Structure 1
Amino acid sequence: MKTTFLSLICMLALVTSSCSDKKKTQEQDALVESSIEALDQEQTIQEKSDNTMVYVYYFHGKQRCKTCLAVGDLTKKTVEGAFASNELVKFIEVDTSEKQYSDLVEKYEVTWNALIIAKGDDSINLTEDAFATALTTPKVLEELIVEQVNKKL
């Protein structure tokens, strides 16, 4: 995180010193400022996640079957519906082929699709239940997700 921040500061210094066009400088300053805000927000989320945040991760690859789509859609709908007013619960869809998620994929040892609910280092893998119920008995999966999230709150 510190390396990213220092790189951002160096980039800002380089852009500021090499560009004399005022409009470009203002646009670049705004871009750098928004990048810093995004980093601050990411750090805040990471700090919260250690102790208080409950994340519902839906991991998937580029191609998804009917069941995969159902698990993702139902999970998102359930989390956003049941916990809409709770800032401590967040649904995150993770495309395992994107490098930005490689740490999560490695942490939870995901090799294919997965549904994982986590709070700090405490997590539960609901993948088997999710894929067994998403199409045939979606209400069972909804209840399971709500139950497991509530246990972590």
Structure 2
Amino acid sequence: MKQILFLILSAFLLTSCGSGSSKQVETVNPAAETAANHPTDQTVTTADPSVVYVYYFHGSQRCKTCVAVEKAARESVATLYGEQEQVRFVEVPTDDAANKRLVEQYGVTWNALIVAKGDDHVDITQKAFANPEGVSGMLQEEVERRLS
């Protein structure tokens, strides 16, 4: 019964995230934004293996949950790690050709929240979308695991 409920909830979430809504949602292109507007955004062409990256991948259409997960992740990294150079939040618009390498590297086909350091990475998308309020704790656990 729990599995059926989980599958129905997952299908609903995926459908709502990908629906062709006419509502316009502003997306951020890290290459076009200034550091003053989003100090945690970074344009990453070659990842530094000593840095923990929190990547938030997204397309141009985003549901409320997608926006909530991004906001929670961005705020968590800023609050927990501030200006530490060892941890960086990176917003990655998947429809931007400049991000093709990262999208392919992590096999992203939808929105995704990935914590990575070098070759060690974990995709916490399902957990984050199931519990947007718990994103901060999830990120802290995964980032700390990679910092130590």
Q: Name the TM tier (shorter chain).
A: 0.5 to 0.7
Aligned partners of 1:106 and 1:133: how far apart in 2? 26
Which residues in structure 2 correspond to 1:89-100 (within 5 Å)?
A: 89-100=87-98
1:144 aligned residue (128, 134, 138):
138
Aligned partners of 1:113 and 1:85: how far apart in 2? 26
The Cα of 1:53 is off from its aligned counterpart by 0.5
Counterpart secondary structure, 2:46: helix
Aligned partners of 2:110 and 2:83: how far apart in 1? 31
Larger Rg: 1
Q: Please list every run of at least 4 consecutive aligned residues from structure 1 whose deviation after the TM superposition is greater than 4 angstroms.
A: none
The Cα of 1:46 is off from its aligned counterpart by 3.0
Which residue of structure 1 aligns with residue 79 of structure 2? 81
Identity rate, percent: 44
Total equivalences in the alignment:
105
Counterpart secondary structure, 2:88: strand
Higher share of residues assigned helix = 1
* TM-score normalised by length of structure 1: 0.65
The Cα of 1:141 is off from its aligned counterpart by 1.8
* TM-score normalised by length of structure 2: 0.67
Which residue of structure 2 aligns with residue 12 of structure 1? none
RMSD across aligned positions (CA): 1.6
Q: Are residue 68 (structure 1) and residue 62 (structure 2) matched? A: no
Structure 1: gaps of 5 or more residues: 1-41
1:90 maps to a residue whose letter is R
